Structure 1
Amino acid sequence: MAASSPFDSRQAEAGRTPTLAVLVGIFMVTVTPFVAGLVQGQTADWGRNVLYAVATAALLYSVWRGSVWAWRLTVGLCMVAGLLVFVVGMLAGSVAWQGWVVSGAGLAYLLLGTALVGTAVIRAFLDSRWEARGRQLRRGR
């Protein structure tokens, strides 16, 4: 018998908007370089970048729907990408000011990934989604 989820239903409902904001923020940080390149007329890798954008949207939608593995993958990718982007930005920042903008993107990944783990209302919302998805999967068997 599975243990009941520790989430508070009032917190879970309050976490809907912050969760959506964090997921949209992750998507926006991910696609901003692609959109900026398109605005500047750089269309060389548009197919690959569209594929990345669609894959990111699918992963974040899975988090929204209540997939635990998608949440774990998203948090892991945010942490790894955040650290790598931050370090690359710091290295580039010693040569050009644009590197500091890249470092800011790395920090954004780190903060958004941490928000998925450490914000109480977001965790309560995701816990409620996980429990509902688990019930749905158990009924489907």
Structure 2
Amino acid sequence: MSVSPPEVSAPSPVAVGRTMTLATLVGLFLLTVLPFVAALVQGQASDLLRHVVYALATAFLLAGVWRGSVWSWRLTVGLSVLSGFLVFVAGMFAGSVNWQGWVVSLAGLGFIACGLLLVGHPAIRAFLDTRWAARGRA
């Protein structure tokens, strides 16, 4: 009399994609807001209103991606890859004279990675496809 082990079912790609999409969007938001928060910690509160408006606009755009807006997704992917490239290049220029430039370059690579994850990861795409389909039916 042998007892067979219970079958372990793998989570669906949509369930995995939900978590990965949320992590990617939070990562993009943190990469966007981190320089502002670091400046606040150092006591630099100049242009506070402008930075708060940028943070709110970023949150609004990323919330649109989460809700299933195709245009928000396209804009987010385009901006993250473009800004990632520009930040990476700026960091490389700064890195030639100062070690902090390499940190800036890593942030640029982070932007690029988040943008490419939104485009190319199968679980994230499966989750976004279900959001887009649900939004199209509504």
Q: How does 1:22-37 map to 2 (within 5 A)?
A: 22-37=24-39
* Residue equivalent to 1:72: 74
Residue 13 of structure 1: how far off its partner (Å): 2.1
Distance (Å, rounded) in 2 between the aligned partners of 1:117 and 1:38 = 33
Q: How does 1:28-107 map to 2 (within 5 A)?
A: 28-107=30-109
Q: Once superposed, what is the RMSD of the aligned Cα atoms?
A: 1.0
- 1:75-110 CA distance string (max 9 Å, x none): 000010000000000000001000000000000000
Larger radius of gyration: 2
Distance (Å, rounded) in 1 between the aligned partners of 2:12 and 2:109 = 30
- 1:111 corresponds to which letter in structure 2? A
* Residue equivalent to 1:124: 126
* Residue equivalent to 1:5: none
- 2:71 corresponds to which letter in structure 1? W
- 1:2-46 CA distance string (max 9 Å, x none): xxxxxxx93112211000000000000000000000000001111
Q: Identity, % of aligned pairs?
A: 64
Aligned length: 128
- 1:48 corresponds to which letter in structure 2? R
SS in 2 for 1:36: helix
Q: Where in structure 1 do 4 or more consecutive aligned residues deviate above 2 Å?
A: none
* Residue equivalent to 2:13: 11
SS in 2 for 1:42: coil
- Note the residue ranges of structure 1 that are not aligned, 5 or more in a row: 1-8, 137-141
